[in-house]
Structure 1
Amino acid sequence: MNFLKQLQKLAFGVALASTLTVPAFAQEVWSMGSAKRAPDIGATFDEETVAALLGATDAVENVEIQFIGNEQEMIQQVIRGRLNMGGSTPLGLAAAFPDISVLNVPYLWDDAEQRQYVYENHVIPQLNETFASSGLVVLSVQEAGFNGVFCTFDCSDPATLKEKRIRVSASASSRLFWDSLGSMAIQLPLPDTWSALEQGLVVAGELPIAYFATTPAAATAKHFVYTDHTHSPWIYFVNKRSWSKLSEEDQKAVLEAMPGAFSTSERFFADNDARATSFTDNGGTLYKLDDAQRKAWADLVVPNIGKLVEEMSPGARKLYEAIEAGKKEYAAR
């Protein structure tokens, strides 16, 4: 009998010890999908975003970053919960969220200060609503730069692109730009674009120089024109079911820990310059446009923007109208 009591005491002691040493919640390992990888500076921003999240909550033990070159596939995996987090531009998100292709309307912004003000006060609140409808939560909005035009030939004159086969994204704004130039638009995922350039299926496309210079396309398309026609934000988001597992306190802490909107811009554009140098060092040619040359491109595109807006969905028009209202508000300040 005494022996039985001793066993009972021992079992109680082990159980008590286990309650003291095991955390009150189970830590999770999350996964994040990204189309960025070193030496692209976007991969550094991915790591900083992950570090901010891990520093703000103990509920997530680690976040494993997975390179997924097909952004549309990656975004669907986050929506379905196969990945916990992701990051992409509106060009990549257009298939899942057609409304936010508005953010890639060509020649939308006058300057960086205007853009940041409108994003912080008008765009980001609407992005939260749009993403929530598909089970995602916006974490942060950062810099993805301006698109320029890459070609397998000297295309600094937009007339040279008329009737040429061009790679376009799923974004209506991307198609508007190329249709305005009289080009033949061929929609392709980015990973398929590199081989399409090599085989001559397409001869041009659009990307920021910092990203383009790190891709296989830089070896085939040796010409890059700084049209700066489309600006893209880089949007970090998390699956809502994963997010809901965090306490409200942790959710607030994570959002407060995220880098401020466009706080990465200065480093991003400095990296742009470095990537541009590496592109020319490897035999590439850059074309920097003066005001008159840039206007020659814009004059072909801007007259068609009104029609694009008219054909947008109600959600897209709502976002566009919010942007225009924000620009007026900024000007009045």
Structure 2
Amino acid sequence: MIKKLMTTLAATAIALPAFAADYNLRAVVGSNVNDEDYDGIVVFKDFVEAASNGAIEVEIFAGTSLCANGAECLQGIADGSLDVYISTSGGAAGIFPYVQIFDLPYLLRDDRVAEEVLRGEFVNLLRQKALEDSGGTIRLMTIGNTGGWRNFANTQRVVQTPDDLAGMKIRTVVADLPQELVRALGASPTPIPWPELFTSLQTGVVEGSKNGITDIMGMKFPDAGLQYVTLDGHAYMGALWWMNNESYMGLPEGLRRVVADGFYALQQATFASPKRKSIQAYQDFVAGGGSLYVPTPEEKQMFRDAAAPVYDWFKANVDGGEEVFDAMVAAAAAAEAEIDALNDLSAN
């Protein structure tokens, strides 16, 4: 009897029709399934599909099968051929130049401050500006992290102050702002495509770069001679998650909440992922003979002072730059004050 019942149940299960989701979201992330962006989109998919009781299906496309670069992918978001896309600030700067705020140095003190700022009204400002500038087609859903913090790394020597960078050839992307920063610190900006950086370090075309430790180890840059990292944490590596506005607003209110909550879960995952992955990356870097240097508060202030002209350049040369700069500075100051007050263990 039991065997007959199980056979009947199995046959019934096979015969049941597959129910298609009411809504399908196509999400594009980078090709590296081991990085923070992929961690985030997997959390988003799991949360949204479960919380919507299967009404929403999330399809993940890793790599360049649907679009090749930031401009092309954001155009896909705008025209609705894509629903979700993650970009760096550099990848979106051609359309939304003010997102280069994340390339400005020393505005965010640490992870705790950065995460507080990225949960607050500052993101709403960027969201409204992006909606306006895209004609209501591209919505900024959340900002997470994609690799921790940018630090100066080089093949030559320990860098303790800006003077130690003098004349050093530092790799940058082909964009004005990072080149202005390197120049302000006394080094020589040298634009090099990312795939060419290993060979460029190896051959001396460049002598340093501005990267997070997981990228440094993932690309095996120590094998090319990069042996010195200064943990100045000059730029938070923000990950901007975009969505087609019609896809979002076209959902019933309850499912919009599910998607918004899904992006919150995604954000938390990408905040956590670099912290965990950097532990092993730093250990491997040191084990391979690498040198880590943490600037003193006085030395870090020297870097901030040297970089100050870049703030004026950003406000004067980037559309929307002054408004966004002032908003981030205010948000960071408020976050610092709140965190410092909570840390006052002497209070009763």
If the TM-score is normalised by the length of the shorter chain, which range does it land in?
Answer: 0.7 to 0.9
Q: Could you tell me which residue of structure 1 aligns to residue 57 of structure 2? A: 61
**Contact in 1 for aligned 2:104/2:310 (Cα 8 Å):** yes
SS at match of 1:224: strand
SS at match of 2:69: helix
Give the Cα–Cα distance (whole angstroms) in 2 for the partners of residues 275 and 80 of structure 1. 35
Q: Does 1:150 align with 2:150?
A: no
Letter of the aligned partner of 1:200 in structure 2?
G
- Residue 129 of structure 1: CA displacement? 1.9
Counterpart pick for 2:321 among 298, 312, 316:
316
- Residue 99 of structure 1: CA displacement? 0.8
**Contact in 1 for aligned 2:70/2:91 (Cα 8 Å):** no
Give the Cα–Cα distance (whole angstroms) in 2 for the partners of residues 219 and 245 of structure 1. 50
Give the Cα–Cα distance (whole angstroms) in 2 for the partners of residues 208 and 255 of structure 1. 28
Letter of the aligned partner of 1:47 in structure 2?
V
SS at match of 1:258: helix
Letter of the aligned partner of 1:254 in structure 2?
V
Q: Does 1:229 align with 2:234?
A: yes
What is the identity percentage for the equivalent residue pairs of Structure 1 and Structure 2? 16
SS at match of 2:268: coil
- Residue 77 of structure 1: CA displacement? 2.0
Counterpart pick for 1:201 among 201, 205, 227:
205
Letter of the aligned partner of 2:118 in structure 1?
Y
Counterpart pick for 1:296 among 302, 309, 312:
302
Q: Does 1:76 align with 2:72?
A: yes
Q: Could you tell me which residue of structure 2 aligns to residue 32 of structure 1? A: 28
**TM-score using structure 2 length:** 0.75
Give the Cα–Cα distance (whole angstroms) in 1 for the partners of residues 68 and 326 of structure 2. 27
SS at match of 1:311: helix
Larger CA Rg, structure 1 vs 2? 1
Q: Could you tell me which residue of structure 1 aligns to residue 278 of structure 2? A: 272
Which ranges of structure 2 fall in alignment gaps of 5 or more residues? 1-15, 339-348
**Contact in 2 for aligned 1:30/1:62 (Cα 8 Å):** yes
Which ranges of structure 1 fall in alignment gaps of 5 or more residues? 1-19
**Contact in 1 for aligned 2:156/2:228 (Cα 8 Å):** yes
Q: Does 1:285 align with 2:291?
A: yes
**TM-score using structure 1 length:** 0.78
Letter of the aligned partner of 1:249 in structure 2?
G
Q: Does 1:47 align with 2:42?
A: yes
- Residue 62 of structure 1: CA displacement? 4.0
Q: Could you tell me which residue of structure 2 aligns to residue 102 of structure 1? A: 101
- Residue 178 of structure 1: CA displacement? 0.3
Give the Cα–Cα distance (whole angstroms) in 2 for the partners of residues 25 and 37 of structure 1. 25
**Contact in 1 for aligned 2:48/2:259 (Cα 8 Å):** yes
Q: Could you tell me which residue of structure 2 aligns to residue 86 of structure 1? A: 85
- Residue 112 of structure 1: CA displacement? 4.1
- Residue 161 of structure 1: CA displacement? 2.9
**Contact in 2 for aligned 1:33/1:83 (Cα 8 Å):** no
1:268–1:125 distance in 2 versus 1, CA, 3 Å: same
Counterpart pick for 1:259 among 243, 259, 264:
264
1:62–1:270 distance in 2 versus 1, CA, 3 Å: closer
- Residue 24 of structure 1: CA displacement? 7.9
**Contact in 2 for aligned 1:140/1:260 (Cα 8 Å):** no
SS at match of 1:120: coil
SS at match of 1:175: helix
